[in-house]
Amino acid sequence: MKMAELVERSGVPLATIKYYLREGLLMPGAPTSATRAEYGDEHVRRLALVRALAGVGLPLPRIKAVLDVVDSPEPGLFAALGTAIAQLPPYPTDDVDERYPRARAAADVIGLTFDPDYPAIAQLEQALARAESAGIPVTPERLAAYGEHAFGVAKYDVEHLPRGREDAVRYAVVGTAVYEPVLTALRRLAHRDLASEMLTPPSDPPAGAWHAGPHDENCGDRRRPDR
Amino acid sequence: MKMAELVERSGVPLATIKYYLREGLLMPGAPTSATRAEYGDEHVRRLALVRALAGVGLPLPRIKAVLDVVDSPEPGLFAALGTAIAQLPPYPTDDVDERYPRARAAADVIGLTFDPDYPAIAQLEQALARAESAGIPVTPERLAAYGEHAFGVAKYDVEHLPRGREDAVRYAVVGTAVYEPVLTALRRLAHRDLASEMLTPPSDPPAGAWHAGPHDENCGDRRRPDR
């Protein structure tokens, strides 16, 4: 297809496509004359990927790093996904203890592989250190509970990983970026529903009262009608 | 206690305490002379709360909003927690469809209460809209899977809510801020472990091969040794 059709099919403005070509985010087309080139479906797909990565806020060098993973001749998709996802925030800051003592202990509790080279280990260390600084460290019991559900979500994610390197990397990176906020919003909404069940007094409370405590024995068994 | 002891016990520098007093983040002590006042344990607790809220990145007006919730004479702790948590990011942007059609449908799927006034509804709507824009909309199946685990995590959280208004608000706000990154890091690490199990070829693969697919029937039954 010609450039005009690429603009139409991708929905990306001409000036942006030219910018991506100059920056090496989009591979050149096959030249048909000194000023024209022919583009293919791979260009439409690549533009969609670049737009998706830019849309989740990745700066240009990090978009390039993800594209390098897609285009790499290295065989291991699994390692590739780790490198690609590491382009997403949060980026660990300098004050993280690089022996990752908290993450190592947490991995033990949950039964996670402790691989200090995997970027999410630094991310976990930082998150655990911040909880400590805030005066509410993450207990082993909380880690075990969170770990169980993190594995539950991750199992769904990995089982639905598309086949094919480009689609898999796109799903892993863009999916991590856009699904994490879905998960955290759902958790906050679940807090609301559960707190409403557990904290709302049954009837006519005196001002300031807080009737149903967290260990009210009826609470644990209450089920949502459709779950 | 005198100011010097408040500085020592709270670990907050004198200049910062004076700033908090001026800004109304810390209630004044009981005056003992024209230039001196007596402070109590409530000042130490309040300083810890302000530091924790500032530590998770809340700007001053939002810290004040949380403190107003703590100090409010309104009885309902449950509504108070919602208002307090709404001070945390992400803050919905202007382009959110305020009828929240995606969040309404999602609440139906999961069995969540749809309360458009609860701030996390706008947050969910925005997250779902962004997944759509990125070309990987959240399917009802994914929502059901995520919802189940969001409820699982939230149940642990709410069951461990401390009694007492100040502690409960602190735990809800600071805990939401510091535990969300723990959860997302754990999910990324769980991805790694599960992808490693499911994507690593059993032995000696030809270059570029991707042996075990996402629906490999042995994967679903594999369990971590300690879970």
Q: Give the residue ranges of chain B where pLDDT is below 70.
A: 75, 199-227
Distance CA B98, CA B116 (A): 8
Q: Which of residues 201-220 of A touch B (CB under 8 A)?
A: 205, 207-210, 213-215, 219-220
Q: Give the residue ranges of chain A where pLDDT is below 50.
A: 204-227
Task: Tell me which residue in A75, A118, A178 faces B205 most closely, judged by beta carbons.
Answer: A75
Residues B20 and B94 occupy one common structural domain: no
Give the minimum alpha-carbon distance from A55 to chain B in angstroms, rounded to a whole number.
7
CA-CA-CA-CA torsion for A39, A43, A45, A51, nearest 10 degrees? -130
Residues A110 and A142 occupy one common structural domain: yes
Task: Given the cut 0.90, state whether the ipTM is greater than it.
Answer: no
In a domain, A195, yes or no: yes
Range of the domain at B133: 73-199
Residues A71 and A162 occupy one common structural domain: yes
In a domain, A42, yes or no: yes
pLDDT of A208: 41
Look at B192 and A155 and tell me if their CB atoms are within 8 Å.
no
Residues A46 and A129 occupy one common structural domain: no
Residues B51 and B99 occupy one common structural domain: no
Residues A98 and A122 occupy one common structural domain: yes
Residues B92 and B17 occupy one common structural domain: no
CB contacts < 8 A, A to B, total 311
pLDDT of A90: 81
Look at A191 and B113 and tell me if their CB atoms are within 8 Å.
no
Q: What is the pLDDT of residues B166-191, one digit of tens each?
A: 888 888 888 888 899 999 999 999 99
In a domain, B168, yes or no: yes
pLDDT of B225: 43
In a domain, B138, yes or no: yes
> What residues of chain A lie within 8 A of the CB of B52, using their CB?
134-136
In a domain, A220, yes or no: no
Residues B164 and B120 occupy one common structural domain: yes
- How far is the CA of A42 from the CAs of A33, A39, A95, A166, B134, in angstroms? 20, 8, 42, 10, 18
CATH code for position A31: 1.10.1660.10
Task: Tell me which residue in A142, A158, A187 faces B194 most closely, judged by beta carbons.
Answer: A158
Residues B24 and B92 occupy one common structural domain: no
Distance CA A221, CA A211 (A): 18
In a domain, A78, yes or no: yes
In a domain, B60, yes or no: no
Return the H-helix or E-strand segment holding B124: helix B119-133
Residues A136 and A34 occupy one common structural domain: no
Q: Chain A residue with minimal CA distance to B174? A: A134
In a domain, A21, yes or no: yes
- B79 touching A (Cβ < 8 Å): no
pLDDT of A162: 86
> Can you tell me whether residue B37 is helix, strand or coil?
strand
pLDDT of A139: 95
Residues A50 and A147 occupy one common structural domain: no
Among the three residues A39, A55, A71, which one is the final residue of a domain in this structure? A55
Look at A55 and B227 and tell me if their CB atoms are within 8 Å.
no
* Residue A35 token pair: 């000023």
End-to-end C-alpha distance for chain A, whole angstroms: 50
Task: Tell me which residue in A160, A188, A199 faces B78 most closely, judged by beta carbons.
Answer: A199
> What residues of chain B lie within 8 A of the CB of A195, using their CB?
78, 81, 158, 161
Residues B173 and B111 occupy one common structural domain: yes
pLDDT of A215: 40
Instruction: Tell me if the bond preceding A119 is cis, omega within 30° of 0.
Output: no
In chain B, the number of structural domains is 2
